[in-house]
Structure 1
Amino acid sequence: MENYLPPLNNHNLPYPDTIHPIVVHFVIAMVLFAVLCDIIGYFTKNSRLFEVSWWNMTIATVSIFIAIVFGQIEAGLANPYIAAVSDLNTHTIIGWALSGIIATITGWRYVIRLRTPDTLPTSYLGAGLVLTAIVCFQIYLGDKLVWIYGLHSESVVEATRQGIL
């Protein structure tokens, strides 16, 4: 079966570099900008910002599933060493949970948009702040996997291939 798969490069990937961070940074930006637009729109009574927020959350909802697909592929090819496994597993679980949370909040936002497009309930703003906190923790874990554990960096891949890690 391995004869039919593309060879892995120095990053232990079948393509030039990691794709997950590119897509996930897009999702992060969309979610954080949506929450910011909701907060500013709530306090300034500018309902046009609610429309901006809605579209950002909608695109983030679709994009997070693309990020998860590449994240799963790249996590499977990472060959994490023992120290990184716990954080990688936590990052994976929170990523899947975030896909459901973001989709649920976007669905809730859709209902709000239909019923009262010019206002937002404070409970929705609170959910946005909780979502922001979860996203920030997920960013911390992702950064740790790259900058502390060095997953998919050439030196760590080489050390893993040689059995050093």
Structure 2
Amino acid sequence: MKYLPPLNDHNLPYPDTIHPIVVHFVIAMILFAILCDLIGYFSHNYRLYEVSWWNLFFATISIFIAIVFGQIEAGLAEAYTAVESTLNLHTIFGWSLSGVICAVTAWRYVLRSRDPKSLPLPFLGVGVVLVGLVCFQTYLGDLLVWVYGLHTVTVVEAFREGTLQ
């Protein structure tokens, strides 16, 4: 343990949480990709399909970076009893969502390879479902920060003092 950096008042070895920064990048890219698909489909502006593809591609890579930091920060979080079920659900759903995003991106790659100027309606439907899944995962993350206060100074201090269990 002497070779590990000391934990700060956020209970982290670095200045502040990194997971939310990376994950907001992923959320924005997924939402923007689906928006570009929908606008491109209804306006027949096929150049937006290329924008969507690259957003999905980089979101797929970035979600694994977000998961790595999420796992590190979840492991360092003071997970008191009330937060455990939400943290576990957020973790399991995050891993599952990464698989869904990979599958959607792979499907999109096949569609793009066959005809870069068209998208089938079922793909757009899956995109709308994906937006719903991302919004639910965002809600769980918001609960962890804004309701349960993970990695906030107040909660870390309360846990260290033994007033929070």
TM over 0.5: yes
Alpha-carbon offset, residue 75 of structure 1? 0.3
Q: Structure 2 CA distance, aligned partners of 1:57 and 1:153?
A: 32
Tell me the TM-score normalized by structure 2: 0.98
Structure 2: unaligned runs, 5 residues or longer: none
Structure 1: unaligned runs, 5 residues or longer: none
Counting aligned pairs with the same residue, the percent is 70
Alpha-carbon offset, residue 143 of structure 1? 0.5
Mapping 1:16-165, distance limit 5 Å: 16-165=15-164
Paired position in structure 2 for 1:10: 9
Tell me the TM-score normalized by structure 1: 0.98
Q: Structure 2 CA distance, aligned partners of 1:161 and 1:127?
A: 45
CA distances 1:37-72 after superposition (whole Å, capped 9, x unpaired): 000000011110000000000000000000000000
Q: Structure 2 CA distance, aligned partners of 1:164 and 1:101?
A: 40
Q: Structure 1 CA distance, aligned partners of 2:116 and 2:42?
A: 15
Find the residue that maps to 1:4 and give its secondary structure.
coil
Q: How many residues align?
A: 164
Q: Structure 1 CA distance, aligned partners of 2:88 and 2:115?
A: 40
Runs of 4+ in 1 over 2 A off after TM superposition: none
Q: Structure 2 CA distance, aligned partners of 1:116 and 1:83?
A: 50
Q: Structure 1 CA distance, aligned partners of 2:115 and 2:85?
A: 43
Alpha-carbon offset, residue 4 of structure 1? 1.3
